[in-house]
Structure 1
């Protein structure tokens, strides 16, 4: 459904305030892990939750309650247990990050919107065109050191629904860790006295060994020596940002293009391979150049025997990588790209992530992931954003607000007819986006009407 605005969309905010833990918390320094504080995670990520007015079905405790007041109080209670979030990062020797648990608090914004939920249609989905209204980068808060680690804005809608936008410092947690914190806020909002799952710090589990032993090849941190790079030379104002929906029909069409031995691949492997191949074709790179694919893989999976304890909310991910010549990736069938994505995932192991932590210590300057020729994809469709119920039901949409220049995220999405699929945002130079769409349409013949550019058509209104 297309948005139907009779007014210019606007949001009025109250002055920013700091929410501190509801009760005194320890004053101490806590060291981040060597996986946490690498350059690759030194940035902020916005996540958006959109809730209907479901007060009629809310628990008695929450009936007629103001979501802003309920959420503020729940955050304050949750920070008693997650008190490092209320602190500030400082940097030690070799850029080692530590949290000064000083209890200064997280930034909170209360806001009122002049529109109703139904006026948004699918516009809340990534790339959300109203992100600057639904969240706000308070001046001076965007840094990594000495700045609030979380910024939360709750915006009341005219219909009684609300949006919850969170900007979090990635060095403190990964998506699973943020969901764990959000579950505690959920429980406090619904009347719990303590979390059902207590947080675990224990960041030393993912620190470098003594002595460090870099045993694996880490392509993910090695820059490719290409002749040119489109993202370095493209003006940010000339980039296009769109999302694409893949439902059961699109997945089936793509999977039928694979050789039999690859048809047992996961949906992530299939869609990541498809996006990487179409993206590379769209960028029209030199066929002799090399491109890279990286995927974020969680060390929490039991297969890796990392013994990450329940309650650990730090970054427990690595992003193993594979290389391909541009010509080979573009000219081979889809199965070539899918096989490489599977190979990247196979690279993940306990030794790989421990070797990556050791690399941070050996390099000293905490290297970041490769930029030139790289494409990084993270699967957030099962992480649990869509299950956060603060007392007003599950969100209509919940997920990362959009793609970064070389990052795409898989978000879970449900269409109005009940069909569940995957929504993937991507950023490309405008001419490349047109070629990307053309190539993707060519690969998914017969399903193009429902697939493309929800940024413009807004045919996919998510509801959970």
Structure 2
């Protein structure tokens, strides 16, 4: 079947706003200091469902999706609000039950024809909605085969992946008449700055106030195209990667550390000169670092972005265990409660001036930058709205800059495979795909149809 069908028509039948079923008193919800570290970017996530025997009609599925959404927005009311700018120039969340923009559409394509390997062509502007206001936008698209794609775009300033996952599971639970398993916490006091505040120099290495920059932190003009790809990695390759990264007497490394090291080493081969810096970052969630019990259901952003810098020549000389050690070392100071408390205090000391993560900044010498965000807890198997589990689920985040973004999530197959979304410079994609043996394999219809044991027809 190859890459599948790229060009197909999508017809939008209806756009409406879906608000919480219960009236909510309008109120303000301030963003935490960690929320304020996020720029105004929208993150996309999508789920594909196969038309199974006995599946309900599209109209019935729409009714279920919207009926459960209005209930989910009662507890997860920030998704029904809108972001406004306060008198100091900082964003705040107005919880006014504006509602979620909900789009109903039809796509003249079958699931077995969908080319998800190149999502810019198959998802962007077609199955993935463009958020035009509010915090969350949803599009439900019926496929020609009777399948369904549900796609969401949400404001990253309001929710990180953990928060979005909580909401999505709650939405699915309500659709199947189950009680909501995780009620969100909006206790901003959990991330209040200390009085007096204190922090070491580490936040200054990771973030920069905008006033300290020689030029605005807007995405620079791209010298080459940046493209999105979706790959998969077999469970065997994930295990082999981890084993290789922990070999030679090296300390045990996690799968994410091993994957980040592999990616760092491979992408450095696409750098034009050996002395160019290659920056690799890894997003760290701070909930379990701060207070695992109190923060377990916290809704918002609890993230930090440590990174390391090595030259392409250095990475070319290093074996995978050595690179994994380097990943572990740049992570080590960022996985403590004190780092997150200090980061909150650092933001407070610079407010209301915004800051930007240094890993995203263009280095004067050029080079390469990439960020890995682990979505390995993505609950694809729990997104069951009443017509079966998704065949495939992944993120879509073409943020617009030249720094790469890579996010692995568990395959819906539940066998240990990973589905990996990658946003990279085209030259780096070519380097990544030229590796032998190839670890990241293009996500063609052959793979996700094999999850359903469907016959692939040429």
TM-score range (shorter-chain normalised) is 0.7 to 0.9
**Conserved? CA contact 1:20–1:104, under 8 Å:** yes
User: Cα RMSD over matched residues?
Assistant: 3.0
Distance 1:33 1:98 in 2: 9
Distance 2:249 2:78 in 1: 47
Matches within 5 A, 1:94-173: 94-120=88-114, 123-124=115-116, 127=119, 129-131=121-123, 132-137=125-130, 141=132, 147-173=133-159
Task: Tell me if 1:384 matches 2:379.
Answer: yes
Q: Which runs of 5+ in 1 are unaligned?
A: 142-146, 226-230, 442-446
Matches within 5 A, 1:412-431: 412-413=410-411, 420-431=416-427
**Conserved? CA contact 2:80–2:96, under 8 Å:** yes
Rate the CA distance shift 1:158–1:109 in 2: closer, same or farther, 3 A: same
Q: Which runs of 5+ in 2 are unaligned?
A: 214-218, 363-367, 453-458
**Conserved? CA contact 1:290–1:326, under 8 Å:** yes
Rate the CA distance shift 1:8–1:275 in 2: closer, same or farther, 3 A: closer
Task: Report the CA distance between 1:397 and its aligned residue.
Answer: 0.9
- The TM-score with structure 1 as length reference comes to 0.83
**Conserved? CA contact 2:405–2:424, under 8 Å:** no
The C-alpha deviation readout for 1:245-278, integer Å capped at 9, x for no partner, is 3223433554336533336211111111111111
2:344 corresponds, among 352, 357, 373, to 357
**Conserved? CA contact 1:408–1:425, under 8 Å:** yes
Matches within 5 A, 1:273-292: 273-287=261-275, 289-292=276-279
- The TM-score with structure 2 as length reference comes to 0.84
Matches within 5 A, 1:102-251: 102-120=96-114, 123-124=115-116, 127=119, 129-131=121-123, 132-137=125-130, 141=132, 147-192=133-178, 195-218=180-203, 219-222=205-208, 232=220, 234-235=222-223, 238-251=225-238
Q: 3-state DSSP class of the match of 2:252?
A: coil
Distance 1:263 1:437 in 2: 29
The C-alpha deviation readout for 1:17-45, integer Å capped at 9, x for no partner, is 1111111112111111111122x342100
**Conserved? CA contact 1:403–1:409, under 8 Å:** no
**Conserved? CA contact 1:21–1:103, under 8 Å:** yes
Corresponding position of 1:269: 257
The C-alpha deviation readout for 1:272-323, integer Å capped at 9, x for no partner, is 1111111122122451x4333221111222x554543343221122222233
Distance 1:189 1:73 in 2: 7
Q: 3-state DSSP class of the match of 1:311?
A: coil
Rate the CA distance shift 1:402–1:49 in 2: closer, same or farther, 3 A: same
Corresponding position of 2:328: 342
**Conserved? CA contact 2:19–2:100, under 8 Å:** yes
The C-alpha deviation readout for 1:62-83, integer Å capped at 9, x for no partner, is 7886211110111111112222
Rate the CA distance shift 1:32–1:390 in 2: closer, same or farther, 3 A: same
Distance 1:235 1:220 in 2: 25
Distance 1:435 1:3 in 2: 19
Distance 2:195 2:86 in 1: 19
Rate the CA distance shift 1:354–1:82 in 2: closer, same or farther, 3 A: same
Aligned residues between the structures: 430
Distance 1:362 1:28 in 2: 26
Rate the CA distance shift 1:64–1:385 in 2: closer, same or farther, 3 A: closer
Task: Report the CA distance between 1:350 and its aligned residue.
Answer: 0.9
Q: 3-state DSSP class of the match of 1:273?
A: helix
1:408 corresponds, among 406, 409, 415, to 406
